[in-house]
Homo-oligomer: A and B are copies of this chain.
Amino acid sequence: MQPTDKPVQSELDAAREPVKDPVREQPDKGQSKFDLMLVSFQKLLRRGAITNLTKMLGKMHPADAAKIIVHLSSPKEKRTLFELVKGEGPRGQVLSELDADSIQQVLADVPAPDIAWLLKDLASDDVTYIMGVLPGALSREILTLMKTEDSTEIAELLKYPKDTAGSIMTTEFLSLFEDTTAQETIRRLQRATDAEHVFYIYVTDKDEHLVGVLSLRQLLTVPPETPLKNIMTPDVISVSVDMDQEEVARQVARYNLLAIPVVEKDSTLVGIITVDDVVDVIREEATEDMLKSAGVTEEDVLASSSIRAARLRLPWLFTNLFGSLLSGAILWHFRYTIQEVVAIVTFIPVIAAMGGNVGLQSSTLIIRGLATGRIELADVWTVFFREIRTGLLLGLACGAMLTLVGLAWHNQGFLGMVVGVSLLIAFLISTSMATIMPVVLKRVGVDPAVAAGPFVTTANDITGISVYLSLSTALLSYLK
């Protein structure tokens, strides 16, 4: 869900939460306040209690109303509730907080001019988000219906590739010429519309190049006739329109900014990205990384049909299926060894699972470290050697344990030792693979998160089992 771009306004004008709220204070224990609210909305919808519904919606924050709509199961109920939100302002805000499916559902029967009307007061990034969800023909129709100035801006924004700074920025911000005086700036602020962000005032030269920044409070502490260029801070942290949104989020997080200006290659100021959008990017990227490592897509989360969900997950499972069949083929190759000493079989799950687990620990550490910037490419060798040493230690501990188990269980010292040594080798291989893969992927520009996925795990299984069975076969024929 895309947030609205008016943090100040949304708290000040639209917040309807009482200060004291006993349920909200313990939101994690059993039924939450939201659950109770959802249930009463569902009941009222079934009874068709329009007056009650309208009244309840009127008291709610648009973000809460949107959340209720997202969690209703029938498109018809979603539509009904959406239409009961009063005023195109709040209705537009609710719209901007919905997920893609719900937007399509609630707008299914709404004519283009009415949609254009709903969007008129929204920030440009919210409009861009909603337009991106609607069918191409409809969004073009809406664009032509909007005021020319707005629609050109939106059309420009729609051109930026997904997940770049350009695609999440808003064009509503306050930028003033460097010769403007403090007094004029204050007057300009008093006339500013709600859509404009006023935590920072950006200062530009005559060619609209970004040259400085100042805070509202700085404005209040200087004589009225001071030009902005005398009070502004000339060094501004900015990002370019084509920067990846994940990198933008890292910059905003690192420097604790409320908003970051977006510039073209020639440093022309074209937009800003506010921290509330960055919060969403961080959550989205973390979700994406977690899902990716389990072979699930973001699309899957939203799919309400299990057929669609199954189709999305199947490719990943098939990859795994063939990987594990390969492990099976290796077992088949060593079938005579297995038949001879069937106790060998008992350690196959151990070898297969443990190598994968140790690898997963290393790769998770590194993938997350790279994503958050805690680990840089410069640290790679340090981390690599640490992980190898850790793998060695873990292999020694688990290997010793298994040698004892093998001895005690099957009364076969040789088997225990083979298992122990195989595990140690498997650990060394899997920690090195798990450490190198994400880094290699990052260097070639692929998201390292996929490395926690099936390929590494399957490769670990196969190597582990091969090492184990080769060693046991070799030892068996030596003993004979």
Interface size of A by CB at 8 A reads: 159
User: Closest approach, in angstroms, between the C-beta of A473 and any C-beta of chain B?
Assistant: 14
Does A51 interact with chain B (Cβ within 8 Å)?
Answer: no
User: Closest approach, in angstroms, between the C-beta of A285 and any C-beta of chain B?
Assistant: 9
Asked if A4 and B35 sit within 8 Å, CB to CB, the answer is: no
Interface of A is mostly: helix
Report A412-449 CB contacts with B as 1/0, cut-off 8 Å.
00000000000000000000000000000011010000
Asked if B372 and A287 sit within 8 Å, CB to CB, the answer is: yes
* Residues in B whose Cβ lies below 8 Å from that of A256: 3-7, 10, 63, 276
* Distance of A60 Cα from B258 Cα, bound (Å): 20
Given contacts A217-B192, A310-B394, A445-B28, contact A357 B320 (CB under 8 A): yes
* Distance of A84 Cα from B465 Cα, bound (Å): 54
Asked if B350 and A328 sit within 8 Å, CB to CB, the answer is: yes
* Distance of A328 Cα from B345 Cα, bound (Å): 7
Asked if A218 and B12 sit within 8 Å, CB to CB, the answer is: yes
Does A56 interact with chain B (Cβ within 8 Å)?
Answer: no
The residue that A258 contacts in the complex, of B5, B7, B18, B254, with Cβ under 8 A, is B7
Asked if B306 and A279 sit within 8 Å, CB to CB, the answer is: no
User: Closest approach, in angstroms, between the C-beta of A461 and any C-beta of chain B?
Assistant: 6
* Distance of A246 Cα from B418 Cα, bound (Å): 47
Asked if A35 and B376 sit within 8 Å, CB to CB, the answer is: yes
* Residues in B whose Cβ lies below 8 Å from that of A247: 27-28
User: Closest approach, in angstroms, between the C-beta of A164 and any C-beta of chain B?
Assistant: 12
10 closest residue pairs by CB, A with B: A286-B286, A306-B389, A327-B349, A328-B346, A310-B393, A294-B364, A256-B276, A35-B378, A324-B353, A306-B390
Interface residues of A in 321-354 (CB under 8 A from B): 321, 323-325, 327-329, 331-332, 335, 338-339, 342-343, 345-350, 352-354
